[in-house]
């Protein structure tokens, strides 16, 4: 159930990240959602590594949104010249 919760939070975080950091995103909703899920997972494991979360805890909603914004920003930088 932990993974499903992380994915659902990641989907919502990806959509919010797209509204906060708009730009030319050729992947559309699907890529933004996948980046949100990845941001949520990254925020969860980074939080475990740093000690913010205990084992079995996932990143909070704000952490997932911040992770999604960072990954979306990196995606925009990587595809800017393409």
pLDDT digits (tens, 9 = 90+) for 5-49: 777 877 888 788 878 877 666 567 777 778 878 887 787 777 778
SS (H, E, C) the chain: CHHHHHHHHHHHHHHHHHHHCCCCCCCHHHHHHHHHHHHHHHHHHHHHHHCCCCCCCCCCHHHHHHHHHHHHHHHHHHHCCC
Select the more confidently predicted residue: 57 or 29: 29
- Model pLDDT, residue 59: 61
According to the model, what pLDDT value does residue 1 have?
63
Domain positions in the chain are 2-79
């Amino acid at each position: 159930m932990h993974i499903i919760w992380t994915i659902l939070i990641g989907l919502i975080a990806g959509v919010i990240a797209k509204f906060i950091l708009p730009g030319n995103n050729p992947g559309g909703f699907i890529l933004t959602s996948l980046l949100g899920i990845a941001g949520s997972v990254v925020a969860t494991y980074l939080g475990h590594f740093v000690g913010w979360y205990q084992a079995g805890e996932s990143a909070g909603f704000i952490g997932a949104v911040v992770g999604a914004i960072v990954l979306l920003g990196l995606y925009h930088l990587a595809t800017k010249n393409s």
